[in-house]
Amino acid sequence: MDKYEILKRYFGYDTFRNAQETLIDNILEGKDTLGIMPTGAGKSLCYQIPALLMDGITLVISPLISLMKDQVGSLNQAGIHAAFLNSSLTVNQYYKALSFAKQGRYPIIYVAPERLVTDEFLDFALNSNIVMVAVDEAHCVSQWGQDFRPSYLKIVEFIKRLPKRPIVSAFTATATKEVRDDIIDILELQSPMVITTGFDRRNLYFGVMTVKDRYSAIKNYLEIHNSDSGIIYCLTRKQVEEVCERLIKDGFLATRYHAGLSDEERRKNQDDFIYDRIPIMISTSAFGMGIDKSNVRFVLHYGMPKNIESYYQEAGRAGRDGEPAECILYYSSRDVITNQLFIDNNQDNIELDEVTRAIVKERDRERLKKMTFYCFTNECLRDYILKYFGEYGSNYCGNCSNCLTQFEQVDVTEIARALISCVESSRQRYGTTVIIDTVHGANTAKIKSYRMNENPYYSVLSKVPTYRIRQVLNYLQLEEYLFVTSDDYAVVKLGVKAKEIDNKQIIMKLAKESDRETKEVKSKSKKSKADILGKEQFTKNEESLFERLRNLRTEIAKEEKVPPYIVFSDKTLTHMCIVKPKSKQEMLKVSGVGEFKFEKYGERFLSCIEKFGSNI
């Protein structure tokens, strides 16, 4: 078979996506490769297809057990023999899998980096024909990346011990230029082809909301999107427990995931979510890397992550099937303080020397600042993210809360001057709340104890709403007129441009008063299956057929003991509803239906479609 036959037979696709074929061809020519592709772009096919065409074994280095389990399950369902070797296996299971591997039963083996230099695994690897080492989530090798894992540094040591150097391919979804360079250097890639296909996920809607009651906002969202599956990310374990408990009490099917749970409970809760038994997962950042659940229709953040890389990776778990999905961040200024504490108490870098650790900490604070600015900006949210990764767009995407809000240009010069003057006259000693309360004229005990009611700028903005004063203060940080320290007590300081304020007119793009709630309109509108599942206009009959096919998929998944999306994705079911195939030939034209899966399930889906048609 050639690459096209493998693509169709095992994976059910007729054509390759952007850059997939180029990356595959490069690997098949025996060259090292680095692919930077957004989540859902099909990175795994770029090493899985060459693995099936090469004479030998491909090792896939993967950071998480859940990722390996998911990928191997999908491959086995597609008719490809694959295995994983990690700590989730019992001793007997591990040695049995290793025995089968030695016999050459598996062209693809997933392995945790910690296993690479163990005696048992080395005994296998040194006596086997390892033709490729594929490094998944390759950004984990860089201490400048958001998920640095020291165990990834063992990869090069392992490769050097092999009798013959294999092809080395590396893949990641999120990497700045510094991280890309690090991947190439640390993995010692030899004259690699580097392809960046772009970071844009056009099917994802991005929104930022600042609300007084985050729980009520999320509860309202879930009530409207009651048939969808999604993830709610929280900053702390305590938040996870509180949000999960309240949602369950309010009648939602929800489960939780964080590092404080036992391995058994984490595994059970993850399976409940992946197998569609429970549609809502509440989790810390510990959940999700490499999870290939394709029908996640929303990712909500109950708080701001510590950097853009983490946010985009977590948000990217929505809409992996390419269909519309929503990513909404519920922001509070308290999130900045929480993340500063995480940075200051970070134990991940204890192996680094003191100087390097200080550099990493300062870098993390700078990343947090840019993440905070994402929550402040009134520019296109998608464009802000893409610029962070070095891409430049039109500053209008039409699919984010800012682009869907009506703005007007407002002169805020007087507000800006009052804020900067207040900071200066108080000798740069206080935080944002004290500064805002001072210029607004608050009569609080704290203002009196600090004697800020005697400040010359006390009450000068008494007629300006506090939310507008805060917007301007945030903007002044964004434009470097002011900055907030990242110490234990965050203090507002004068920025590099503060002295220019007397000669500048400050114009801000602000939401029109009548449109302040517009950011919530799109995410709060009830969607039909046509909106959720694609651009094609679904009729009511097609919506009913989709539900029938989804029920059949669930039935088969229970029989096979696999997640439903591994049988067929929502996108494939949607295409079936549109094509309404009547034969094997027509069914094989449906995206995601290959020869192997048709032999397993095809007739049952054809029968379901036929019965539905006869009852209309």
Range 604-615 average pLDDT: 89
204-339: which CATH topology? Rossmann fold (3.40.50)
**Can you name the CATH fold of 407-511?**
Arc Repressor Mutant, subunit A (1.10.10)
Asked whether residue 516 carries a pLDDT value surpassing 60, the answer given is no
The domain covering 535-615 belongs, at the CATH homologous superfamily level, to HRDC domain (1.10.150.80)
Q: What is the DSSP letter of 282?
A: E
Each residue's pLDDT tens digit, 570-600: 889 999 999 999 999 999 999 899 888 999 9
Q: E strands, 343-450, where?
A: 407-411
Among residues 413, 433, 416, which one has the least CA distance to residue 492? 433
- Element containing residue 73 per DSSP (H, E): helix 65-77
Show the tokens assigned to 185.
């250097």
Between 86 and 258, the higher pLDDT residue:
258
CATH 1.10.10.10 range(s) for the chain read 407-511
pLDDT of residue 263: 82
Domain with CATH 3.40.50.300 in the chain: 3-196, 204-339
**Interval 147-187: pLDDT, tens:** 778 889 899 999 999 999 999 999 998 778 888 999 999 99
- Nearest of 327, 326, 280, 268 to residue 301 by alpha carbon: 327
User: What distances in angstroms separate CA 222 from CA 18, 52, 137, 301, 366, one per listed residue?
Assistant: 34, 43, 31, 13, 34
Given this model, what pLDDT does residue 613 score? 82
Q: How far apart are CA 529 and CA 460, in angstroms?
A: 53
Q: What is the CATH number of domain 3-196?
A: 3.40.50.300
pLDDT for the residue numbered 518: 45
pTM of the model: 0.78
Give tens-digit pLDDT for 457-515.
999 999 999 989 999 998 999 888 998 886 667 789 999 999 999 888 999 988 876 55
Distances in Å between the Cα of 299 and the Cα atoms of 59, 217, 325 are 31, 14, 8
Which among 114-128, 239-253, 306-320, 330-344 has the top mean pLDDT?
A: 239-253
Q: What pLDDT is stored for residue 522 in this prediction?
A: 46
Nearest to 174 by CA among 374, 10, 389: 389
The rounded percent of the chain whose pLDDT value lies above 90 is 57
Q: Is it the case that residue 531 has pLDDT exceeding 60?
A: no
Within a 10 A sphere around the Cβ of 91, how many other Cβ atoms? Answer: 7
- Can you give 13-67 as a three-state secondary structure string? CCCCCCCHHHHHHHHHCCCCEEEECCCCCCHHHHHHHHHHHCCCEEEEECCCHHH
Least confident of 339-343, 377-381, 472-476: 339-343
Average pLDDT, the chain: 88
Note the pLDDT of residue 187.
95
Every domain of the chain with CATH number 1.10.150.80 lies at: 535-615
Work out the average pLDDT over 123-130.
Answer: 93
Q: How far apart are CA 75 and CA 80, in angstroms?
A: 5
What's the pLDDT score for residue 521?
Answer: 42
Residue found under tokens 């690479």: 116
| Model confidence band, residue 104 (pLDDT cutoffs 50, 70, 90) | confident
Mean pLDDT for the stretch of residues 430-435: 93
Q: Tell me what the mean pLDDT of segment 319-326 comes to.
A: 89
Q: In this predicted structure, what is the pLDDT of residue 289?
A: 57
